[in-house]
Structure 1
């Protein structure tokens, strides 16, 4: 996406209508953080969300994507996604409902199609609920897998990886939504090497031509020379060596319980690494989320368009109470804007450095 492409609006998917997604979207518009964006969702749901956000926030249906940039302040432009349940607004807030799962999938599908057609600069996705998706008969376990399938253009879906990032850490995962037993089996030479390639290529697009990538081991102490498991010896280290032979600045495997401290960029503590590649979901995401979910952003690497998301879920326990914090969604919007400007179709780096969050 070039700087000219960044003049396009950003599509924000509504997320699960029964969760906090619509409310934090409304709050982002109220705070001025969502200017130049529009919602792919349901007008009635967004009107309810506007009321939860404190009222005095207009909601307007748009018929053309370009209209999103012409709406006045304190107005939420909504693209009514086709195929939404007519009674979606009646789905009970704070509970799993098949209607909200079906609607969430429909909004994601519409936004991805817009991105593939080049009509939007990026897609920012509000939280969805995996049980609601399953109740609606949606086979995908989450956004990443769904967007990967939607990005297929007549052939194999592109290889993608999840990155969770804030101003201090960036973690890219080899495996994501699998049971731990299945995830261990999914840590293969090819999977680790492909993750390193995707992370390196993505960093080049946001302005780092030679990112320092640390690779966390799978086992305690990265296997301790084979005493606690040999995956590091058989799989991870050979993949790192192969990546280095391709010019990728990868190193490790390092003990997963200390590598994140070494990589963390904090005041007075410049990190040793720019990215950490972790083998499993919780290995990689716990350190980033510990620093504050309100700051974290989920980025899907490998898609042919920019996609970001807040790093929290639907928060059914507080949905409908007006308490939801829009900070992570606002961070996702800011990062989407930055990636739209710093990325180019050819992968040529821009001088944006580390500024992503």
Structure 2
């Protein structure tokens, strides 16, 4: 049955790196049934990996959830808690399989358990981050500024979204990558994504680059010469955005301590400027969404946690939120029908 034939979207749940906690959080989520009211899940990964995770976590897996084992993997072939080429290779293959199902119309989105960049690289997936990996898998050929990694913190008063102008760039190189075009791209990307999540007119706060927002030019001039003009240009297109605000207070502006939300989104200038704040707001609930690609893609904002892998201790809370977000985004997404070429990567 086609995923589009139901009001409840069908989401692919990819087991992630089998050496980490991904299979365990998947097993716990499946057993909890917390997802049943808003999504139909379709597991992508070897059923032996999932069965091992269920045993380690002490849960009983439901018997009505399909498991796509088209890419086999024997969990006894690796050591849990250790990054390896074998684990990285199969994690990438499972992702590729899930994306193929999505573009074929069998799934309306994909939620994947944590990956390990070192293992992916050892396994032959030579990309700096998830975004570039999926751009290759989907054969994305559009402008770089129209795709990006967004972070989402679920909250009863409204989700708080975060994007960044630069991502996996050394800190010493950040300033030269903060251009008016790059700031505008980040603003428009998050504006579009938050609108698609159901917010008609998102309010966006833009961070400064320098301490104290540059102190009027005493501590850098990027706020006046780069960021402020980009904000004005975004406003001219109908985007509601303010700033630049000092980075040490911008999240307090966005969401007050009493929970009142003044902004639905924050644009940071570099990775840790936004990531530290969002993870402090709720490490076990944070979600990453990859925006602008032809497939809905979400994942927990945490990593593979090799130190506790195989011990049954992993918290599935962030994965549950990632599934919820994928379902919400999928309801407003048309899945493309063009197949992904086997030659798209590697």
Q: Do both proteins adopt the same fold according to a TM-score greater than 0.5, normalized to the shorter chain? A: yes
Q: 2:51: which partner in 1?
A: 47
RMSD: 2.2
1:56-205 → structure 2 map (5 Å cutoff): 56-57=60-61, 71-72=63-64, 76-82=65-71, 84=72, 86-152=73-139, 159-168=146-155, 169-205=160-196
Look up the SS of the partner of 1:291 in the other structure.
Answer: helix
Q: Which among 195, 210, 224 is matched to residue 201 of structure 2?
A: 210
Q: 1:351: which partner in 2?
A: none
Q: 1:221: which partner in 2?
A: 212
Q: 1:309 to 1:111 in 2, by over 3 A?
A: same
Instruction: Select between 292-301 and 111-120 the one with higher mean Cα deviation.
Output: 111-120
Partners of 1:163 and 1:155 lie apart in 2 by 18
Contact 1:264/1:270, CA 8 A, preserved across alignment: yes
Q: Which among 38, 41, 52 is matched to residue 42 of structure 2?
A: 38
Partners of 1:310 and 1:100 lie apart in 2 by 19
Instruction: Select between 164-173 and 196-205 the one with higher mean Cα deviation.
Output: 164-173
Query: If the length of structure 2 is used for normalisation, what is the TM-score?
Result: 0.87
Moved over 4 A (4+): 2-6, 153-158
Whether 1:300 and 2:290 are equivalent positions in the alignment is yes
Whether 1:14 and 2:18 are equivalent positions in the alignment is no
Structure 2: which 5+ residue stretches go unaligned?
A: 336-346
Q: 2:311: which partner in 1?
A: 321
Partners of 1:174 and 1:4 lie apart in 2 by 38
Q: CA deviation at 1:130?
A: 0.8
Q: 2:299: which partner in 1?
A: 309
Query: If the length of structure 1 is used for normalisation, what is the TM-score?
Result: 0.85
Size of the aligned set, in residue pairs, is 326
Structure 1: which 5+ residue stretches go unaligned?
A: 59-70, 347-357
Q: CA deviation at 1:154?
A: 6.1
Q: Which among 226, 239, 255 is matched to residue 230 of structure 2?
A: 239
